Amino acid sequence: MTQPNPNNPYIDKQNNTQNNTQNFLGNLLDSNNSKQDFLKGALIGAAATFILTNENAQKAIFKGFAKISSLFESGIEELKERYEDAKAEINDADKI
């Protein structure tokens, strides 16, 4: 039985391709990689550009902020009411 020629470029070609793909993905997810930083910056820039140039997206974002702020304000009012109720109960208990 003869051994395969180690200089044959077709031996383990598929395995080398898989290793290169795994190395690329591993390097891409590495925290010390400038490619990852570039991709993060590109995605953030694309999102910012989309928001700044799309009027419908701006309206949707502002509507969302308005809903959140109104929920927050109503929650604050509810807390104030509960505080006043507790305060009134304490005053009533002191009078008895």
pLDDT digits (tens, 9 = 90+) for 48-64: 999 999 999 899 999 99
**76, 68 Cβ separation under 8 angstroms:** no
pLDDT digits (tens, 9 = 90+) for 28-50: 556 566 788 889 899 999 999 99
3-state secondary structure the chain: CCCCCCCCCCCCHHHHHHHHHHHHHHHHHCCCCHHHHHHHHHHHHHHHHHHHHCHHHHHHHHHHHHHHHHHHHHHHHHHHHHHHHHHHHHHHHHHC
* Average pLDDT score over residue span 82-96: 85
pTM attached to this predicted model: 0.43
Q: How far apart are CA 66 and CA 72, in angstroms?
A: 10
